[in-house]
Amino acid sequence: MKLSVKPMTLNLKTTFRVSHGASDQRHNVLAMIEHNGLVGYGEAAAVFYYGDTQESLSAYINALPPLGDDPFLLEDILNALPDGPHAAQAAVDIALHDLWGKMVGQPLYKLFGLTPAPLPQTSFTVSIDTPEVMAARVKESNYPIIKVKLGVEDAEASVAAIRQASNARLRVDANAAWTPEQALELITKLSEYDLELIEQPLPIGDVKSYLWLRDQLKIRGVTTPIFADESVKTSRDVATYAGAIDGVVVKLMKSGGLREALRTIHTARAHGMKIMLSCMIESSVGVTAAAHLASLCNYLDLDGPLLIGNDPFSGLRYEGAKLFMPDGVGLGVTPLHS
């Protein structure tokens, strides 16, 4: 098998602001594995708060030893990958799975024993801006499910403006920006706006504060579910948060690919947690790969291709918030340009 990489710069339709930064482009990496005339595609998303760059992801993949000549030895190949960025490992994992599906002539969801439909609807993300601008974006999008990025400043005002503009189901994502005390007060106030869930309100790794927050919210009669994103990368992290959260956010770029994402989903379910399948800002390669696991999940946040203006692949198809899997084998993605 021949492994190669090339840079993939994604242009965002609007500036994407979260609590720890803003960007107009994302610099991802496309991995390709060629074998017997077939090509498997994978993607690595460079996320700066994990310390990844396009250059570091490419360097990791380029430095890998040969993968061998049997694509069906997925577990052996992936277990032999050296320590490194999970996103880069995910690119190799996704490309191998794409190749696997193409070799047997089946879409991945069938090889996992899953169904392509019906799938939960996806949310659409609105990044941090003034309350007025955020509300206008929500109204313009006309999506039935909105994920709202929040910091500390104007958090309640933003949700209030959005709720006034829309009856959409609302999810809030603080990206680890709140202290425990801020989270308690903000979640108490925000619960009045009929939120579906709140994602990563507290800093990464602070399990005790999640337990404290849950107890304090219960005393106040607040029942809004709390999900962990940045705190739970792989299946090994799930048990640490058992009893402290209601659900986990699964992303291929955090877990290292489809194999570990599947383990994370099953581990979370075994601990009574719900699952939201999500993505970084990725092209149709990474997001379509994740969607093959969508039928196992309670919630979807797979809007990456909707946020970029130059997706180099076709794959997952959107009709509003409804998702439709592509018809092809493997991932089912197709390059739009040679």
Report the domain count for the chain. 2
DSSP 202: S
Residues 6+ apart with CB under 8 A from 70: none
Helices in 256-328 by DSSP H: which ranges?
A: 258-270, 284-291, 304-307
Predicted pLDDT at 338: 57
Which of 84, 105, 126 finishes a domain?
Answer: 105
Q: Which two tokens stand for residue 338?
A: 């040679």
The residue whose two tokens read 């009045």 is 192
Tell whether 57 and 163 lie within a shared domain. Answer: no
d(CA 291, CA 311): 17
Predicted pLDDT at 117: 85
Residue 39: which domain range?
2-105
Tell whether 14 and 141 lie within a shared domain. Answer: no
Tell whether 79 and 122 lie within a shared domain. Answer: no
Tally Cβ neighbours within 10 Å of residue 62. 11
Predicted pLDDT at 14: 80
Predicted pLDDT at 233: 94
Tell whether 222 and 74 lie within a shared domain. Answer: no
Tell whether 81 and 144 lie within a shared domain. Answer: no
Tell whether 285 and 159 lie within a shared domain. Answer: yes
How many Cα atoms are found within 13 Å in the side-chain-facing hemisphere of 338? 0
* CATH code of the domain in which 82 resides: 3.30.390.10
Contact 54, 85 (CB under 8 A): no
Query: 157: burial class by Cβ within 10 Å (0-12, 13-18, 19+)?
Result: middle
Cα Rg, the chain, nearest whole Å: 19
Tally Cβ neighbours within 10 Å of residue 69. 9
Predicted pLDDT at 19: 61
d(CA 301, CA 294): 10
DSSP secondary structure of 11-38: EEEEEEEETTEEEEEEEEEEEEEEETTE
* CATH code of the domain in which 123 resides: 3.20.20.120
The distance in angstroms from the start CA to the end CA of the chain is 21
Q: Three-state SS string across 210-245, please?
A: HHHHHHHHHHCCCCCCEEECCCCCCHHHHHHHCCCC
pLDDT digit string (tens) for the chain, length 338 residues: 999 999 999 999 887 777 667 788 899 999 999 999 999 999 999 987 788 999 999 999 999 999 999 999 999 999 999 999 999 999 999 999 999 999 999 999 999 999 988 899 999 999 999 999 999 999 999 999 999 999 999 999 999 999 999 999 999 999 999 999 999 999 999 999 999 999 999 999 899 999 999 999 999 999 999 999 999 999 999 999 999 999 999 999 999 999 999 999 999 999 999 999 999 999 999 999 999 999 999 999 999 999 999 999 999 999 999 999 999 999 999 999 75
Tell whether 123 and 95 lie within a shared domain. Answer: no
Tell whether 250 and 124 lie within a shared domain. Answer: yes
Tallying the residues shown for the chain, one arrives at 338
Tell whether 167 and 316 lie within a shared domain. Answer: yes
**For the whole model, what pTM was predicted?**
0.94
Tell whether 50 and 153 lie within a shared domain. Answer: no
Which of 89, 105, 121 finishes a domain?
Answer: 105
Tell whether 160 and 51 lie within a shared domain. Answer: no
DSSP 122: B
